Amino acid sequence: MRDRQTERREATRLEILDAAWALARENGLSQITLRDVANQVGMRAPSLYSHFGSKNAIYDAMFAQAWSEAALEMRDVARRLPSSPRTALKKLARTFFDFEVSDLARHQLMNQRTIPGFEPSPAAYAPAVQVLDDLHEVMAGLGVRDAADIDLYTAIVSGLIDAQQANDPGGDRWSRLLDRAIDMFADNVGIPESVGRKT
């Protein structure tokens, strides 16, 4: 039987998180204050402590949300990858790249330590590990099995993401280099070319 009490509580939690996301996108991730969040959901600041143990606990839940979203999106793409390994590598990279670049606040929370005292809890970190585990599995299917190769792949992709966000937000100066970078990587690990010749 449904537990209306629990449902209501969960709804309030989500309402608080939505308010926090909205404020993060508007004023910056670290500029969120408990008073602002509470005000946005019609509460006083101390009332938030009935739902989250601390401000960092709110960041923690947001962190888990963000990586869970990413896990869903990456799995969805992984299920319908193009047959060419090289094109598949590009599709994977492009999906993650666009996901990260489309939300600056979310990207900062997921990948940078921009909040002074915040360290994600093991529970919140789990979906991030999930994304990486999935990547290893998919990459193995594409012929990339060495862990060092995947370390290189992730460093390249996130290097381009960080450069794009930091130096040309809203533009495409590094976004344009992504396919070329993946070709470069594919050449290095010996993945055969898909169709035609590389430039």
Residues in 133-192 that interact with its own copies by CB under 8 A:
148, 151-152, 154-160, 162-163, 166, 173-174, 176-177, 180-181, 183-185, 187-188
How far apart, in whole angstroms, are the C-alpha atoms of residue 110 and residue 64? 9
Say which residue the tokens 């990413």 belong to: 70
**Residue 24 contact among DNA, its own copies, none, beta carbon within 5 to 8 Å by kind:** none
Q: Which does 56 bind (CB under 5 to 8 A by kind): DNA, its own copies, none?
A: DNA
Cα separations in angstroms, 50 against 61, 85, 136: 15, 50, 39
Q: Is 59 in the site for its own copies (CB under 8 A)?
A: no
- Sequence-distant (≥ 6) Cβ neighbours of residue 52 within 8 angstroms: 13, 16, 58, 61
**Binder to DNA among 21, 55, 128, 186 (CB under 7 A)?**
55
Please enumerate in sequence order all residues whose Cβ is within 8 A of that of 31, keeping only pairs 6 or more positions apart, or say none.
23, 24
Nearest to 113 by CA among 162, 51, 49: 162
Residue where the block lists tokens 């921009």 = 114
Amino acid at 39: N
- Under the binding rule (CB under 8 A), the answer on residue 66 touching its own copies is no
List the one residue out of 71, 186, 76, 188 whose CA is nearest residue 133: 71
Q: Provide the mask over 22-41, with x wherever binding to DNA is found by CB under 7 A and - wherever it is not.
A: ----------xxxxx-x---
Pick one of 18, 22, 40, 56: the residue that binds DNA (CB under 7 A). Answer: 56
By the criterion CB under 7 A, which residues form the site for DNA? 5, 8-9, 12, 32-36, 38, 42-47, 49-51, 53-56
Interface with its own copies (CB under 8 A): 28, 30-31, 108, 111-114, 116, 148, 151-152, 154-160, 162-163, 166, 173-174, 176-177, 180-181, 183-185, 187-188
